[in-house]
Structure 1
Amino acid sequence: MSNLAQFDSDFYQSNFTIDNQEHSGDDSNAYGNLYESRKQQAGEQPQPASFVPSEMLMSPGYAGQFFQPASNSDYYSQSPYIDSFDEEPPLLEELGIHFDHIWQKTWTVLNPMKPADGSIMNETDLTGPILFCVALGATLLLAGKVQFGYVYGMSAIGCLVIHALLNLMSSSGVSYGCVASVLGYCLLPMVILSGCAMFFSLQGTFGTVSSLVIIGWCSLSASKIFIAALHMEGQQLLVAYPCALLYGLFALLTIF
């Protein structure tokens, strides 16, 4: 037991005294004062400028805040994309749909005595022809006749035949789209005849006379437009004859 007590006293024995504690406190105060003085000297000295990229430097006229760039009206006014959007045509014109041309062509068909404008009739506008073909099939359907296939089939074959004949007769030639456009617009009087068939029967003298008048109306309008567009003066009767045969087929669908 004496040995254990001596070991404890030797283990816990140290040379630390109160004087040493006071001396260490003075040293810590000295180190603190030295740190504060160096800190004050560092604050008084100018700090070296750190490297800042030129992209991050703000211009003198910058009026915005950080992460909120100021709007520059001059940039948007001079942007080529804004000008290109303003100069773009409307969507209907890009699709080839011109309501003024449709109205002019329709009025030319409704008035056979009005001279046709060849520059307008040369355009391959199929909006009106498709609309008139659908209207003809719809009026026939309301009259109890499902003839959509015959209307589309005869229209396509008739356009091919008239296209071949006009290319043989004219020196300038004509496109298939132009032929389809003219024949489709001139189908409007036949739509009127099929509309009459919805209310009364055309299988009689009145129906026969009305059909002949409508066939002459359609063929006269189509031949007038073809003559004006292709500069085929003196050949209107030659052009009107195959057109009358084509519209006669539509008249037979309407009557029977």
Structure 2
Amino acid sequence: MAKEFKVPPVAFPQPGNPPAGGPNIQQRRMAAPPFQPNSGIPFMSFDIGSAAASTSSGPIYSGPGTVGGSANFDDEEPLLDELGIHPEQIWSKIRSVLNPFRVNHTVHKDSDLSGPILLYMSFCLFQLLAGKIQFGVILGWIVVSSIFLYVVFNMLAGRAGNLDLHTCTSVVGYCMLPVVIYSAMSLFLPQGGIVAIVAASIFVLWATRASTGLIVLLADGGEEHRGLIAYACFLIYTLFSLLVVF
């Protein structure tokens, strides 16, 4: 036999009328706690009010050379000067190599590697246009050639020789200009013909004369060994020209 349970009636309050049933059925809302950011992470909890007060109490240090929160670039050096790249100096050195009979060695006393890197990249680019990917080969031969000429000169000059490796690398790089010009011309010449070999010989002699004159004038004790230095330079630039001819 089923037992009946008496269910009290549910009354929904209407707007504007007090709820029926007295204060026992009134729904009470619990007060929500104030928002606390990062309350679950103890070491990252902070107080927004204190942070805002600390930032508004005084200006933030913006580092040296700043006025009114903005950087002052009036006293800054140009980017090329900070990197040690001087386009006017590079252009004057390139022009001095264009005339192999009157090489101006005074502009080469301050040696740099910016111009040689530019000529090396140009040489690689022209070889790439010819369908030859030789970046690693050219870079390796550049390093070996500079060390080879440095060792040869210092062995010939002995204790009187004052040619350092940095100057030697700079001279070898700038005197690569005739080979770079020939690599650009070879794009319009037949490969491996008599014309290409004759043109290569002319540009190799041009680079050899320019590099020999610079090394003899920049270093002490090289005048009496001009022939052997010229032979070493001739071997270096012949090696680079073979990359273009074949």
User: For the Cα contact (< 8 Å) 2:189–2:196, is it kept in 1?
Assistant: no
Count residues in correspondence: 174
The alignment partner of 1:167 has SS state of helix
Match for 2:202 among 203, 213, 221?
213
Q: Which moved more, 1:171-180 or 1:184-193?
A: 171-180
- Code of the residue aligned with 1:211 in structure 2: it is A
Deviations 1:120-179 (A, max 9, x none): 323231111111111111101111111111111111111111111122233142221111
Identity of aligned residues (%): 34
- Using structure 1 for the length normalisation, give the TM-score: 0.62
Inter-CA distance 235–89: structure 2 relative to 1 (3 Å threshold): farther
Distance in structure 2 (CA, Å) of the matches to 1:89 and 1:155: 32
Deviation at 1:234, TM superposition (A): 4.0
The alignment partner of 1:97 has SS state of coil
Q: Give the equivalent residue in structure 2 for 1:152.
A: 139
2:98 aligned with 1:100, yes or no?
A: no
Gaps of 5+ in 2: 1-57, 59-66
- Code of the residue aligned with 1:108 in structure 2: it is S
Distance in structure 1 (CA, Å) of the matches to 2:108 and 2:144: 21
Deviation at 1:206, TM superposition (A): 0.9
- Aligned 1:166-181 pairs, distance under 5 A: 166-170=153-157, 171-181=160-170
2:223 aligned with 1:233, yes or no?
A: yes
Deviations 1:219-246 (A, max 9, x none): 1110111111114334332211101101
Deviation at 1:100, TM superposition (A): 2.3
The alignment partner of 2:188 has SS state of coil
- Code of the residue aligned with 2:144 in structure 1: it is I
Larger Rg: 1
The alignment partner of 1:115 has SS state of coil
Deviation at 1:93, TM superposition (A): 2.6
Q: Give the equivalent residue in structure 2 for 1:114.
A: 102
Q: Which one has a larger percent helix, Structure 1 or Structure 2?
A: 1
Distance in structure 1 (CA, Å) of the matches to 2:185 and 2:79: 36
Distance in structure 1 (CA, Å) of the matches to 2:123 and 2:131: 13
- Code of the residue aligned with 2:115 in structure 1: it is G
2:133 aligned with 1:143, yes or no?
A: no
- Code of the residue aligned with 1:255 in structure 2: it is V
Inter-CA distance 115–144: structure 2 relative to 1 (3 Å threshold): closer
Q: Give the equivalent residue in structure 1 for 2:242.
A: 252
Deviations 1:44-68 (A, max 9, x none): xxxxxxxxxxxxxxxxxxxxxxx9x
Q: Give the equivalent residue in structure 2 for 1:196.
A: 185
Match for 2:152 among 165, 172, 183?
165
The alignment partner of 2:85 has SS state of coil
Deviation at 1:185, TM superposition (A): 0.6
User: For the Cα contact (< 8 Å) 1:189–1:217, is it kept in 2?
Assistant: yes
Gaps of 5+ in 1: 1-66, 68-75, 77-81
The alignment partner of 2:216 has SS state of helix
User: For the Cα contact (< 8 Å) 2:103–2:210, is it kept in 1?
Assistant: no
Cα RMSD after superposing both structures: 2.2
User: For the Cα contact (< 8 Å) 2:97–2:103, is it kept in 1?
Assistant: no
User: For the Cα contact (< 8 Å) 1:124–1:181, is it kept in 2?
Assistant: yes
